[in-house]
Each structure stands twice: as C-alpha cells, then as structure tokens.
Amino acid sequence: MIYQILNKIDQQLHIENVEAHCDIPCGIYDPIVAQISALTVVRMLDLMTEFEAKTPDRNKDYMNSMSRYIAVKEEHAERAKAEIRVIWGDYLKAQHLEKYPNAHALVHKIMQLGSKVRQTTDRDQATQLVDAINEFAQMFWETKGITTKRAKAPYAPALELVYPAL
C-alpha cells in the first residue's frame, strides 16, 4: 500500500534515484575465452608444424596458408591477454588479492607468455600459457566459491582445461 503510494508520487514527481549498482556488465566475467584462445595458439602451432612437414614447396600457396596460421595465432594470443587483463583489472578486488597474493605475479606471467607465443613458434611456451591461464581460472572460480574440475578439451589439441563444476 505504502509502496504503491510512493510509486504514484515517483511517477508524478520523480523521487531521486540512489545507486546500489555494480560494474557493467554486472558480474559477467569468465576466463573460458582466454583458455580457449590459449588452446587455439597451441592448435595453430601444431597445424604449422604439420603443414611445414607435408609441404616441400615454399611457394606463394605455402606462404599464404602459413601466414593465415600465424595471423590466427597472433590474434588469439592477444585475445587471451586482453581477457585476463579485464578480469584482473575489473573483477579482482582488494579482498581477492589479500587471499591470492600471487595474483599479480600470475597475471604478469600470462602477459609475458602471451607475448612470447607471438614472437616464437615454441610449443612449450604455448602449453605454459594454457597452464598459467588454467591456474588463473581456478583462482577466479574459487573467489566465487565455485569448485572446479579438470578435463581434456573435447577438440584438438586435447589439453587439460579448468572448468567450473556446476
């Protein structure tokens, strides 16, 4: 009853709004994009290795295909870095950092590995990137009180990823 009266008054006189809001988009953070992007980097390296072995001619078709693999590798390495930066910068709060004092060092490691996989064709560095982002994903879900599980990705390269156990 009182609410309805206030609502009528609000419609006529516009009661001032008081914000109880969250960041925008509210709470929509998920490290899975970064995980899949890191996995894509490994996949591109595998395709490059395979393609190099089966293609003897270094002609323009070879250059064309190889440059496409490289472009996708570049794009996904950068996407993985960007996604982690957003979660780190926008989602992680002081109380999370108190609980996970290694978070800054872990993010820095991901940034460095993300650059390294762009500069090189070292598969070992790319799998390290997947591992580091998995570690970040585990921390992220823990901050939300969600337990995680590890399972192999259902596509090549079937590396292990951390998933929320929902």
Partner 1 sequence: MLRFLKVRGDSLAPEYSHGDFVLVSKIPFWLAPPTPGDVIAFRQPGYGLFIKRIQNLSPDGGVNVIGDHPESIDSRVFGTVRRKDILGKVVWHIRKA
List residues near partner 1 by CB under 8 A. Answer: 2-4, 6, 9-10, 15-23, 26-27, 91, 93-95, 143-144
**C-beta closer to partner 1: residue 39 or 92:** 92
Q: Which two three-digit tokens encode residue 135?
A: 């570690």
**C-beta closer to partner 1: residue 89 or 154:** 89
Nearest distance, CB of residue 98 and partner 1, angstroms: 11
How many CB atoms are located within 10 Å of the residue 140 CB? 27
Q: How many whole angstroms from its chain centre is CA 108?
A: 14
Largest CA distance in the chain: 82
**C-beta closer to partner 1: residue 11 or 59:** 11
Nearest distance, CB of residue 13 and partner 1, angstroms: 10
How many CB atoms are located within 10 Å of the residue 31 CB? 25
Nearest distance, CB of residue 3 and partner 1, angstroms: 4
Nearest distance, CB of residue 11 and partner 1, angstroms: 11
Q: Give the torsion sign (CA, 116, 100, 22, 27).
A: positive
